[in-house]
Structure 1
Amino acid sequence: MPARAEARASGVRPLVFAVAVISTSFFLFLLMAKTLSPGGLDGLDWALLVCFVFTLPWTAIGFWNAAIGLWLMRFSRDPVARVFPLDQGWNRTVDQKVAILSCIRNEDAATVFRNLDRMVAGLVERGVADGFAVHLLSDSTWAEWIAEEEGLMASFRDRWGSALSLSYRRRRDNPGFKAGNIGEFMERRGADYDLALVLDADSLMDPDTLLRMVRIMQANPGLGILQSLVVGLPSASAFARVFQFGMRFGMRSYTLGSAWWQGDCGPYWGHNALLRVRPFIAHCRLAPIPGRGPLSGWVLSHDQIEAVLMRRAGYQVRVLPEETGSHEENPTTLLEYIRRDLRWCQGNLQYLRLLWMPGLHVISRVQLVLAILMFVGSPFWVLLMVIAASRAFFASGSALFDPGYGMPLLFIILTMVFAPKLASVIDVLVDAHRRRAFGGASRVIGGALGEAVFSTLLAPVLAIAHTVFIGGLLAGKKLVWEPQRRATHRVPVALAWRRLWPQSLLGLAATLALITHGGLTVALLSPFFIGALLAVPIAVLSADPRLGRWVTRRGLWTIPEELMPSPFLASLHLEALESDRARMAGAAGRS
């Protein structure tokens, strides 16, 4: 697309998207008002409407992102080019110095070095390793982890020290957490590099994907941050398999759609991304938020703030919406997933203190608002369900809802909620190549249905967790930053109950109340409360390694990276890939 046309599109697309989202939300508001209209609207009806309004933004945005993404996937010859109109730099020699920053804090160092080893080996094989340097940036505080890091770093240096520059640095204190870790490196060594690849402890990038991203950055000097589309590594955890399958399905349409209207104000997710070092040093430094409350102090969700500051400085921030060669490990249990989510929750709510920073692009401000609403919507959703269930329990016999409006509203909401996954299912089913990559139509449909049921049950568990946590923040409670437990492991029933008792008790009370009412109300509300009621069994069973091995051996929720792993991915010898290889060998033997 010519530069002038791209500039016009970048101004029109956000406006079109905003009109679509606002119009959809207003229509749903009116439909909800009609649903509540029997007997007129009283105070509780208006409370329900207010709660409903706060749940709408992300629902409408997800739907339109998916719709636009599906339209691009089906009717555009090159969907990526439509939303990523930059010089791809295909034929450019890699001539810039790139720092690979692996940020670690009390993590499994063996996995970190395994991933780095494969990446460095790939760069050496391609003859470009001398343009890169690996820096292990440790914030570890546990003696046993520090000793492991130091020992593995010595072995790593013996293996690759002659091929490229390697360094290990551990901070004795960790102000700023991960952002401070990277900031300290930028101050100390940033001047030596043109670009920096930021990795988390569980990050992995195919060297070909990394080199392509470097070439794009070289060819586009106005590009400040280039974010890759991150895919979950194949896992043998039942929880992670369902989660990664859903992400893999919904990610492509959603990301294409969001990139269409966000343009050069794209996202940065804090890892598996390239930063242009000099403007990052000059413009993206984060200071603590003043004050003493839970939303003060160092910014936890630093990535999106760094992105809006980079855009404020005049540099583009874009995501490359292709599902190739950029990986992370998904949480293997529900409890670990919630723990990660709550860290994001506190970090995103800190944006309330940063929303009015001067000079931000209007879309940057919109992104900060949406990041806040991602979690603020949960208490309103929980409150909406509780009020509705209470009304059902204390009903005096008069109609609470108008089914003539309520049933269409329920159908529309469910369609919009699942739109990103529906869009990708449609795209996969009509595309023979992608259909084969997922193992055929039956696996696509079966996996999608199973994931839809699981995510429906999971949604109230997460919403109630967010609500309880936000209540704690209002009371002054802060989150302690702890490392993620990434390996597959069991979740004891006692631990699950200790973490999920609010969900269980609310689900039990509401389910018993709804049993006494029946009818349309139960149809509308019971999935929410049944999911909450089953929180502990879901957490325990989905974490059980035996169930994980069983679903892996049977190929349930298989993603393309398992069926057709690249040589690079296969070299990791992941349990999920080994199980899949054994299953296919067994099937071939029986035939």
Structure 2
Amino acid sequence: MMIFARRVAFAILCLGTMAWTLWLAVLALMPGGFGLLDAAALGLFAIILPWMVVGFWNAVIGFVILRFSSDPVAAVLPIAGAVRGDEPVVAATAILMCVRNEQPARIIRNIEPVLEGLHASGFGARFHLYILSDTDDSETAVLEEHRFSELVTAWRGRMAITYRRRASNTGFKAGNIREFCEQWGARHELAVTLDADSYMPSDAILRLVRIMQLDARIGILQGLIVGLPSTSLFARVFQFGMRLGMRSYTIGSAWWQSDCGPYWGHNAVLRLEPFIRHCHLPPLTTASGEEVHILSHDQIEAVMMRAAGYHVRVLPREDLGWEENPPTLLEFMQRDLRWCQGNMQYWRFLLRPGLNLVSRYQLALAILMFIGSPAWIGLLALTTGMLVLCDTPANIVRPDAGEALLVWLLVMWFSPKIARALDVLFSSRERQAFGGASRFILNFAIETVFSILLSPILWISHTIFLAGQLLNREIRWSGQIRDDHVVPWKLAWLRLWPQTLVGCLSLGLVLMTQSWAFPYMLLLAAGPAVAVPLAVLTAQPVLGELSARLGIARLPEETATPEDLLDLALPAIESANRQPLATSS
């Protein structure tokens, strides 16, 4: 009953906020009459609004819990407070490391400290590592066979390790795990899912397993994931923002979603028996009769697990695992488009019988996350056209309502990061962890500008891709480039010329016709206009190395490195420690 009341309250807050914001938008558009273009703009605005409003209220609720709860984690996942940390681990647990065309040395670097920790805990016999390869590059396959065979030999007698490579990556990652389930799943009660770019300390694995042992109702337990310290300038600034946005948002959403939480596909624990029985993902059939596999499998598996009567929970702690983010804008866009294609498949499940209402909401919001991109670009085009065609500013927007709407949109847009930033600034320990108050505020400002530049670039990328989807264009599932590298100017231009054209055209037209609006248009068009130099400069290894040494986008792990990360010998941490930074409270 309490969870139902929370969900009703959250729905009322969101619907009321959307109604008020749309009313404010109507007021802003009223000068000169409310015509067809105004109605079109309002319709596009209504598409992008739910994502921002939900983010705002998740952030507000998360901030309140962070500031006023003695144990924010237990406030949203009470069973977490019951774990002492000395309970015996009795569940037979598989650790699934899914790889595809990855460098084996990086995989071994990330997994060996985990094996060491589990062995030292005395519970190593309860765990079995499975390296599940979908590698199709012949040279990498040969290297895998050699290096992983060495790993198996080195750990024989201490930890069980199995290496398997599929001849075909049918079903992508979901198919990889499904094959494991069919062959070995019956041997294990639980499975820890890891990606090639993720690192999960042994203590975190043990904590999640102990929670699963205490509550048999939990089918999936997802740990919070943060960015691994990087020497890529792009990755550093991006994951600084991710670090700020994730915790308050996740705690706020967990407060009302409760047992209908998220699953992000890795750094989580699955209860295998219900997962095998209820979470099988058959191929989808297109209009032409072709079978296609689901790319973004994780959230579908989560809603199917919940439909089967099991809980899907998230543990919002920041010490449960890390992941590597793409080192350049171009690699990030490639991964982002794969997510876009996967999320667009969710519409087929919206009316699936038996799904919880919250589960349907999650699928719809995941679709809106990318559908909102064409809406943003449509608003950019409409706004540009209205400014060019209008004879006087008084006929475009009502100043007081327009300014209030702009401020409110920026507050909603950045609310998850603002909430976490306030939480950091109110805590002396947190301020020191991020390098001191002044450095943290500077980094917050840098990340804010970065987000304003990056977001419209991605919106244009999504819009082009979604248009291509109408012509059956698809993303190829391939390995990712994880090492820092230079992005040539020519390559950046070939990939980003549409963004550059849109941004420069919008800014140029507004500057020539309604120069007073130019500063406002920078919010939507500046990023696309500078997309090429942004991609090139943020990929420069020398700038990334310098940013790590100067403390730009500094993470707490670079101030006081957890013992779990020391064995990884990360270059970013080494660079950060070459020049100690003075901190101020």
Between 1:166-175 and 1:294-303, the stretch displaced more is: 294-303
The one-letter code of the counterpart of 2:443 is: G
Q: 1:558 to 1:475 in 2, by over 3 A?
A: same
Task: Return the alpha-carbon distance in structure 1 between the equivalents of residues 203 and 114 of structure 2.
Answer: 10
**Contact 1:308-1:364 at 8 Å conserved across structures:** yes
1:5 corresponds to: none
Report if the CA contact (8 A) 1:294-1:477 is conserved.
Answer: no
Deviations for 1:261-294, whole angstroms, at most 9, x for unmatched residues?
Answer: 1110000000010000100000000000112569
Q: Bigger shift: 60-69 or 289-298?
A: 289-298
Question: Is 1:89 the equivalent of 2:83?
Answer: yes
1:401 aligns with: 397
1:577 aligns with 2:582: no
| Pairs aligned (count) | 580
Match of 1:320 among 315, 318, 331: 315
Q: Does 1:534 align with 2:527?
A: no
In the other structure, the counterpart of 1:34 is 27
**What does the per-residue CA deviation read over 1:65-103, in whole Å, with 9 as the maximum and x for residues that have no partner?**
110011111111111111112253324200111101000
- 1:80 aligned residue: 73
C-alpha displacement of 1:110: 1.1
* Match of residue 131 from structure 1: 126
The separation in 1 between residues aligned to 2:290 and 2:495, in whole angstroms, is 23
> Does 2:551 correspond to 1:558?
no
Assess, with a 3 A threshold, how the Cα gap between structure 1 residues 295 and 247 changes in structure 2: closer, same or farther: farther
Q: Of residues 193, 197, 217 in structure 1, which corresponds to 2:192?
A: 197
SS at match of 1:317: strand
Shift of 1:519: 5.1
**Equivalent residues of 1:410, 1:524 under 8 A apart:** no
The answer to whether the 8 A contact 2:558-2:573 is kept is yes
For 1:206 and 1:423, locate their aligned partners in 2 and report how far apart those are by CA, in whole Å. Answer: 27
Q: Do 2:264 and 2:298's aligned partners in 1 also have CA atoms closer than 8 Å?
A: yes
Write the letter of the residue equivalent to 2:234.
Answer: F
Query: Match for residue 470 of structure 1?
Result: 466
Counterpart selection for 1:64 from 38, 41, 57: 57
Alignment check: 8 A CA contact 1:343 1:479 kept: yes
Equivalent residues in 2 for 1:132-171 (5 A)? 132-171=127-166
Task: Describe the superposition over 1:526-548 as per-residue Cα deviations: whole angstroms up to 9, x where unpaired.
Answer: 22111110001000000110110
Tell me how far apart the structure 2 counterparts of residues 454 and 201 of structure 1 sit (CA, whole Å).
27
Is 1:106–2:101 an aligned residue pair?
Answer: yes
SS at match of 2:391: coil
Cα distance in structure 2, aligned partners of 1:378 and 1:503: 13
1:522: Cα distance to partner? 2.4
The residue that corresponds to 2:281 in the other structure is 286
**Corresponding position: 1:335 with 2:334:** no
Q: Which amino acid aligns with 2:561?
A: P
**Aligned partners of 2:402, 2:390: CA distance in 1, in Å?**
17
Aligned to 1:384: 379
| Residue type of the alignment partner of 2:386 | R
Q: SS of the counterpart of 2:538?
A: helix
CA deviation after TM superposition for structure 1 residue 221, in Å: 0.5
| 1:375 lines up with 2:370 in the alignment | yes
1:547 matched residue in structure 2: 543
CA contact (8 A) 2:435 2:582 kept: no
Deviation at 1:488, TM superposition (A): 0.9
Deviation at 1:139, TM superposition (A): 0.6
Farther-moved stretch of structure 1 (49-58 vs 122-131): 122-131
In the TM superposition, what is the alpha-carbon distance from 1:499 to its structure 2 partner?
1.1
Structure 1 alignment gaps of length 5 or more? 1-7
Q: Does the alignment pair 1:349 with 2:353? A: no
Letter in 1 for 2:27: K
SS at match of 1:476: coil
Secondary structure (helix, strand or coil) at the match of 1:191 reads: helix
Q: TM-score if structure 1 supplies the norm length?
A: 0.96
Q: Which residue of 2 aligns with 1:50?
A: 43
Change (3 A) 1:253 1:306: same
Counterpart of 1:3? none
The worse-fitting range, judged by mean Cα deviation, of 258-267 and 77-86 is 77-86
Q: CA RMSD for the aligned pairs?
A: 1.5
Equivalent residue in structure 1 for 2:444, among 443, 448, 472: 448
| Distance in 2 between residues matched to 1:494 and 1:396, nearest whole Å | 40
Report the equivalent of 1:10. 3
Structure 2 distance, partners of 1:483, 1:294, is 28
CA contact (8 A) 2:296 2:342 kept: yes
Structure 2 spans left out of the alignment, 5+ residues: none
The answer (yes or no) to whether the contact 2:59–2:249 under 8 Å persists in 1 is yes
Whether 1:359 aligns to 2:354 is yes
Label 1:550 to 1:136 Cα distance change in 2 as closer, same or farther (>3 A). Answer: same
- Cα distance in 1 for partners of 2:26, 2:190 equals 53
For 2:543 and 2:574, locate their aligned partners in 1 and report how far apart those are by CA, in whole Å: 16
Deviations 1:403-433 (A, max 9, x none): 1110010011001111111111111111111
Aligned-pair identity in percent equals 47
Are 1:234 and 2:229 counterparts? yes
The 8 Å contact of residues 221 and 269 in structure 2, kept in 1 or not, is answered as: yes
CA distance in 1, matches of 2:290, 2:33: 41
Give how far 1:296 is off: 5.9
Correspondence for 2:246: 251
